[in-house]
């Protein structure tokens, strides 16, 4: 079921959306400096749900830390309604939920790293 319908893993879809949200849509720069803040994420859900309503769901667990301290941690979840019939409608709902979840997470990272900046 999973490999038949998706060309990449959920982790890869989330990673690409998060890179876009953080580094293309916000004024952050990717770096390899060890002391720079690091964002670790775990994809908890990337799925179709049937109840309480038919939707695509993406749920992420995250930890934002520097080399000494956890700056923020938590979970982000987003649901997007399935508005049509068939698998294409489910894919669109999951993609929308992915965009919403990664946008929420990018906004949270911005608030932690740049508290004086306005979010996206």
Domain ranges for the chain, please list them.
Answer: 2-113
| pLDDT value at residue 4 | 52
pLDDT confidence of 119, banded at 50, 70, 90?
A: low
Beta bridge partners of 61: 42, 75
pLDDT confidence of 118, banded at 50, 70, 90?
A: low
Residue 102 has pLDDT above 70, yes or no: yes
Q: In CATH, what number does 2-113 get?
A: 3.40.50.10610
| N-term to C-term CA, the chain | 36
The model's pTM = 0.88
| pLDDT value at residue 1 | 39
User: 72, 64 in Cβ contact below 8 A?
Assistant: yes
What letter would DSSP give residue 23? I
Mean pLDDT of 3-14: 81
């Amino acid at each position: 079921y999973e490999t038949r319908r998706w060309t990449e893993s959920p982790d890869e879809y989330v990673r690409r959306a998060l890179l876009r949200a953080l580094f293309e849509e916000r004024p952050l720069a990717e770096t390899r400096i060890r002391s720079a803040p690091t964002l670790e994420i775990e994809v908890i859900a990337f799925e179709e749900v049937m109840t309480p309503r038919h939707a695509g769901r993406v749920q992420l667990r995250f930890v934002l830390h520097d080399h000494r301290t956890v700056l923020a941690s938590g979970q982000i979840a987003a649901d997007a309604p399935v508005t049509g019939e068939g698998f294409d409608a489910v894919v669109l709902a999951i993609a929308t939920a992915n965009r919403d979840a990664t946008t929420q997470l990018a906004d949270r990272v911005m608030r932690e790293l740049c508290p004086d900046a306005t979010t996206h």
